[in-house]
Structure 1
Amino acid sequence: MNTTDAIWSALEEVLDPEVGVNIVDLGLVYEIEVDEKGHADIEMTLTIPECPLADEIVSNVKEAAAAISGVKDVNVSLVWEPKWSPARMNDRAREEIRARQRML
């Protein structure tokens, strides 16, 4: 598995604390690039720009990516275009959200 793919996999363990679903399945991660020196650039968004847990999510993303072998440093850029919408979620995220709603 290459470093970029390993980071994608690691980010599947990072949850959006308010939704309880991982940020990859939610469609919050837009792009990951890793250069030959081990510098990782991650472009992502949040469900809303004024997310009160933004710092926690970004910190968790940095920690997960930095744990990958070969990654020397991580830069996370929050972007607001394209704007996130529920259409970015994959089927697994939709099922997890439905299951949580049924439990309430």
Structure 2
Amino acid sequence: MTDIKNPDAGNEIKPNDFYDRVDALIHIANQQCNQVDKGKVSASFLFAAARFNSWVSASGFENSELMQANRQELVQYFVQQYQSMLEDNLDEFISNFSSYQKGK
């Protein structure tokens, strides 16, 4: 199985690479929000993340039986990661609400 928990293991990581990728994806979502309701963009973003992470997970197994045997562990991992990231970002937006919401 691919090391989903640390996909950059063994690779040199530049500190800003992670956030550069995040910003690029958020930029795409923001562009779509100019044409479609942000709730619809959010739903598409969530589905895309689930679809992509399923593909990344599948690429780490030799067959579907092994993937099935690890299915619950995969779900738990991604749910825990999303919850942690969501909580961190909600806390940041709560702490910076006034400045972040200027000029919505």
TM norm structure 1: 0.30
Q: Larger helix proportion, structure 1 or 2? A: 2
Q: Larger strand proportion, structure 1 or 2? A: 1
Query: Who wins on radius of gyration, i.e. which is larger?
Result: 2
